[in-house]
Structure formats: structure tokens, C-alpha cells
Structure 1
Amino acid sequence: MEKIKAIVIDDEVNNVDLLVHFLEKYCPIVEIIGKATTSREGKVLIEELQPQLIFLDIMLDEGTGFELLEDVTFTKSKVIFVTAFDEFAIKAFKFSAIDYVLKPIEIEELVLAVNKAHEQIKLSLFTEKEQLNMLSNSINKNRLPLNFIAIPSVDKIDFVKTNEIVFCNSEGRYTTFHLISGKEIVATKNLGEYEQTLDKNIFFRIHNSYIVNLTHVLNINKSGGNYCELVTGESIPIAKRRQDQLHRFLKIK
């Protein structure tokens, strides 16, 4: 396998330089293709360079590393958190982190984390090839009908009619689809990717964590805050900054 293409994101320049030094000296399988010291720079690097691996601090200049991961649309990068805060370990693994390396960095821990990333990246490359073969064998002309969406999960790919989707919500780097049947499917892509994929005439992102199928909305409840009440009996919040956009979309303002 070729070298792992990686970037480092940390709001302390000294921390970035030290980690890059350790990686170059002790982890020759890693090639650093980018460095960032702000969330904004980090997001740009991830989207433009599409690295295989991200070394990410949790506490950044603006918000957290978790928020950065939720904000990016490219989600195929593996993540190793490098941080001084051990209390976020459980949350880190909810974001599919490869590992969680504490500062000050111990070389042995860093090498083990990189080795784990190496193995998982090799496995994911193999899995992607399998998925592409499945798609090409299952779909004429390599395209799904417009009323279908392919939802990749850890062990399979579901083909779902879009009119069966009631809403979907962010689960860190994953997205959960809630279907009219009551079934839930956890996809291995983040919500931002599905915002770009789903039909914008029907699906609307009402919140940073939710996209709703407007054909399954019964009403907008304004009495206790703004909520979409759904045909399934669930209520999901509408973010304040998206209320005006939704009203304009529905031509009620």
C-alpha cells in the first residue's frame, strides 16, 4: 500500500510541528499533505485534499473537532484524536475514531494508533471495491432511478424509495434514516452529504441535525417553539436560523 495521505489540525502551532516531527520520524507510512490551525482552515483542507487520515485536536479555536467533523461533507477520512482532554474519549469513538492519543504524546501510543489506521484504511479500500461491484451488477447503466437512494451501512447497501423516508438525523459522522415503516437505517456518511443528494424540492434541512421529508409533515407547531410534527407522531425541532428559509421555501413569507 502507498503512504497514508494525512492532515494535522490543531490550534497550537507548536503542537502541529511536534506531531508532524513524530510522524515523520516514527511513522514513515504516513505522508503529511496538509496542516491547519483553525477550524475553517481544517474544513477547507478536508474538502479539498480528501485525506485518508486526520489527526485532530478536540478543542479548537472555534468550537470543537466534533463540530468540524459534523460540518464537512467529505466523510471517508479516518480520524485519530490527539488531545489533552481524556473526558471526551467515549464521544470520540461515537465519531468512529480510530484511536484517541493523549497529550503529551507517547510515541508507542502514536505508532499503535497509526498501525490501526493503516489496517482500517486497507480494509475500507477493499470494501469500497466490493460495493462498487455490487452497484454495477445491480443497476442498469450504473444509475439509480430518481426516486431511489442507495444507503451504505457497515455491512450492506440498502436501496430505499425516497418517499419512504420520513426524516434523517445526524449521528456524528453517521446518519440515521427513519422510514415510514418504523425501520431505521444507519448510514456511514454524514448528514451534509445527504443534503446534497436528496431532492431539494421535497427534503429540507430544518436543523443542523435534521433533514425532513416535507411530504410527511402534518404541521409546524409554533406554540412551544418551532417543531415539525410528522405523520409518524414524532416532532423534530426547526433551528431559529432556518425558520425564515423554511417559510420562504413554503411560500408563507
Structure 2
Amino acid sequence: MLVSCQKCQAQYNVKDELLQSAPRKLRCVKCGNVWTEKKIGAPEVASINQTSAPAESVAEIKSAKPKSKPQAEKAKADFQFVQKIAPYSKWIALAASMVFILTSAIIFRKEAIAIWPPIAIVYQTAQIPVEILGDGLAFEEITANRIQEEGKLVLFLKGKIVNNSGEALMIPPFVQAVSISPDKKPIEKWQFKAPSQMIAPGQVVEFQSLLKDVNGFANNLVLRFTTGEKKDAQTASAGRASPEGSVETH
């Protein structure tokens, strides 16, 4: 027979024999409520709360099975699953962290190179395309003139850097000037500090440099951006060269 607790509505299956001879006092194992369950076939009897009734006069339904058992079994199964994966949780967290770091390094490689240019060689070694140093910028209106200064021949170089891209760009820290021979071989080179600043789309920034010892310089110069490193990892990548400008000296 199915009976319900008058207080918490928990339901229990009670053997019919317990209620065939006379009404019985039952105690809910869930909330402790005590009530009188009527005899089978007898008229309705009002239930009463007798929590102070003697223990020997009460039939406690310990053998009854609440309907909440499936939830308890599910909770137990979930706990056992957590116990099984707990030893591997550190490795799972470590793997997730590594994936996050690598993904961020690839997505934000342009920003990483801007902060620390030498890291570009790491991307190149891993065959991950990197932003070309100065990509989107161009040299324009370059002039190079030999002039006398304090009885010595010096080279006065000036020109403009223009942003041809559709976004603001940071001008690389240095410009390298390379003296080129008639057979296209480099002879001498020097570098000077560029007007390092953020340049808006279409904006033009002027630069200039003065080189004192130019006796060994040929008439042709090639300009390119550089990070200032001895081994510049960003001068070329995937067959593309850093933006260049050329000029004849006079």
C-alpha cells in the first residue's frame, strides 16, 4: 500500500498486513513526522502529529524506499566519475593552458613582434607566417646629397615615410641604408634611428640622417626598415622583403 507523509509528502510502500488489523502510527524517516494511518477499509481518520509518542508504539518504515533513490544513485555515480578523473585533472589543466598560450601567441603574433622583435625568428622557425617589418609603410621622395662640412665630405639623406595601409601602424625603430655597387652587391651600410611613432592611414612622416665618412659609398643607396639587431629576423619572410626605397647620391 502506498502512504504519504502528511508533512513532507514523502511516499512509501507499506505492507498491507501492517494495516489490516488496526490503525498504525507511522514515522517518516525523512522528516521524523509521526501520524496515524487508518486501517485498510476503515473510514478516514484525521492524521495527528505525535512526535512525542513512545518509540515502541510507532512503526518506523525503515524498509520503505523513497522515490528519491534514482537521484541518489545518480549523485553517487557522478562522485565516482569525479574520483576517476581527479588524478588527471592537473594534466588536463596544463594541456588546456598550453593550448591557450599557443593559440594566443599565433593570433597576437603581430603585437608580440612589435613588443619584442627578435621573437619573429621563433615564428619563422615554426613556419608560421609573420608580419613583415614595416609592412604597409613606404619610402617616398628620398634624396641623398654629398656636401662639404668642416672640410669633410658628408652624405645628407632625407625622405618621407608614408602609411599606405588602412590602419594605424608603428614605424619600426631603425632605417638601414645600404650602398649598392653597379653589379647590385652591398658595399657599405649604416643605420639611423627612425622617427618611431604611430602613423595613421595616409599620414606622412619625414626623416633625415647625416653620414660623415662616405668615401667608400657608391652612388646607389637602398633603404629598408630594421629592428637594430645584428641578425635581423624580419627583413624577409615567405619570399617577401621588407619595404625598400632606393636613391642615387649626388
Larger Rg: 2
Q: What TM-score does the superposition give when structure 2 sets the normalisation length?
A: 0.17
Greater per-residue helix proportion: 1
Q: What TM-score does the superposition give when structure 1 sets the normalisation length?
A: 0.17
